Structure 1
Amino acid sequence: MVNVSEHELVPDHTLLDDPDDVEEVLEEYNVKRTDLPKIKRTDPALSNEAEAGDVVRIERDSRTTDTAVTYRLVVE
């Protein structure tokens, strides 16, 4: 079976482990954790360590900027 998370077209998904990093992101964008866009825990691009309530950093290549960064809240 193919591991989708390692495909070249799937952007990098990084789990934010440090609660301070999550707080920095929330303060920077002036949002609550529940205001972040959602991603299902079962999404093939996520690692198996992701649990509901975690925040994931997604880095995509961008034509206008070198890298576009978004954050998502893991939900069941």
Structure 2
Amino acid sequence: MVDVSQHEMVPEHTVLDEDELEDVLTEYDIDSTDLPKIKRTDPALPDDAEVGDVIKVVRDSRTTDEAVVYRLVVE
């Protein structure tokens, strides 16, 4: 079976640690529940991602080289 998370077209997904999460939430003046959601069953998620974690997604961008977005893992 193919591991979708390792495919070259899937952007990098990483779980934020507590310090990084606090920095992001402070920078945007939001709570983690204000972030867009991603389902725990999404095949692109890292294996260690759990419900309640925040994922940093780094995508290629034509205008800024890379775009960083954040997603809250939900059931």
**Fold shared by both chains (TM-score > 0.5):** yes
Identity of aligned residues (%): 68
1:15 aligns with 15
Write the distance in 2 (CA, Å) between the matches of 1:38 and 1:52. Answer: 10
Number of matched pairs: 75
Secondary structure of the 1:24 match is: helix
Extract unaligned runs of 5+ from structure 2.
none
Q: CA deviation at 1:72?
A: 0.4
The ranges of structure 1 where at least 4 consecutive aligned residues each deviate by more than 6 angstroms after the TM superposition are: none
Write the distance in 1 (CA, Å) between the matches of 2:6 and 2:47. Answer: 13
1:30 aligns with 29
Letter of the 1:7 counterpart = H
TM-score under structure 2 length normalisation? 0.96
Extract unaligned runs of 5+ from structure 1.
none
Residues 1-76 of structure 1 mapped to structure 2, 5 A cutoff: 1-17=1-17, 19-76=18-75
TM-score under structure 1 length normalisation? 0.95
